[in-house]
Structure formats: C-alpha cells, structure tokens
Amino acid sequence: MPKVQVVNMQGSPVGEIELNDRIFGITPNVHVMHSAVVAQLANARQGTHSTLGRSEVRGGGRKPWRQKGTGRARVGTIRSPLWRGGGVTFGPKPRDYSKKLPKKVKRLALCSALSSKVNENSLIVVDQFVFNEPKTKEMIKVLENLNANKKALIVTENDKNVLLSARNIPGVLTSSAETLNVIDLLKHDVVIFSKAAVQRTEEVLSNA
C-alpha cells in the first residue's frame, strides 16, 4: 500500500497514512482517463444551437420573377440558401452530445488519476482543516505552508468555512469525495485531501 505523509495546516509532518492500493496505487490507464475526459466535456455541452433551413425562414412564398425570359437565373424563392437572408444549408440543429461510460470505466479513470497524483508526489494529505470562520487570507497562508501556491484542488468533507475561504482564490477549486472528477484532478497541479476526505473517497470508490 502506498504511504503518504500527513501534515498539519502549518505544513509540519504529524504522521503517515496508508492509502488503499486499489484506488491510489494502480498503474494509471491513460486511455481510460482520456475517455472519461472526452465524456465529461461532451456531457457539459448543452446542444441548444439551432439554425433555420429554407423551409423555416419566414417569407419567400412567392416566386420572385417568372421562370423564363428575364435573362436572370431561375429562382423559386428568395429564402434560398444562396441568397442573403435565406436558409442555412446543413446548419446545426439541437442534439444530445452526452456520452455514457460504464461504472467500472468511470471508477478506473478516477483511480488512475488519483494514482498518477501519488506517483508524481502531487497529493498532499492534511490532518484536518480548522477554520472558525471563512477567511481567504488564512487559506492563502495554509496553501503557502503546503507549497501549493499554483493550481490546487482541495478535497474536503463539505466544510462550509473551507469552501468559502477558498472560493475567491484564483486557480484554487474545492470538491468533495462525491463530486470528484477526472478533469479537476488532471488540470490541477496539486491535490490536497483532508484525512477524513481520503477515507470518504475510499468508501465511495470501493462501493462504485
């Protein structure tokens, strides 16, 4: 089982934690992580784009001029796609972009992303976050103590004071074990777990 040092909010070591080998210690599967990212981005698309075809554009019911004898090209409607103000040829219509992944594939992608963070020494476990009230300055100090001044993902047990303290810091995002996803894990340089969040993540992924 992989072991990670546990630190306090000042960045001082206070012990070690053994991580679940099946979640934090597997060989990362790059293909599965890519599939999860593609599916997540596709599911975020609304698909509400729409254009009008020649039959949907208002007007154009009368033939603009007679078929022959004018020397001009034959035209049946002023709403032809060739005309300004006409319909759109093969334009986008509302559609569903969503992709479905099997549960086991989703779980493997999450475990691969978590394991890659462990392999890169980019996963930090904090004993606990203690904020008596929301304080952005205090959270910035904690991140400096943990050498996590760049893009950081903080995973906690939905502690309201932690969420409010971190939400205005550029590059910092908060999450819970239930809402953890592959894109957030991969796009942040450092992932910071509270000790309780590690245990909760192991419970969630063990039951997946």
Beta pairing class for 13-18 and 3-7: antiparallel
CATH number for the domain harbouring residue 128: 3.40.1370.10
| Sequence letter at residue 169 | I
Average pLDDT estimate for 35-54: 95
Same domain assignment for residues 64 and 11:
no
Range of the domain at 181: 3-45+100-206
Average pLDDT estimate for 166-174: 93
Structural contact between residues 188 and 153, judged by C-beta atoms closer than 8 angstroms = yes
Cα 128-17-167 angle, rounded to 5 deg: 35
Structural contact between residues 93 and 47, judged by C-beta atoms closer than 8 angstroms = no
The 10s digit of each residue's pLDDT in 94-148 is 999 999 999 999 999 999 999 999 999 999 999 998 888 999 999 999 999 998 8
Same domain assignment for residues 110 and 130:
yes
| Sequence letter at residue 181 | N
Same domain assignment for residues 136 and 105:
yes
Same domain assignment for residues 108 and 62:
no
Res. 208 pLDDT band, cuts 50 70 90: low
Look up the pTM and report it.
0.82
Helix 195-206 to helix 103-119 angle (10° resolution) is: 150
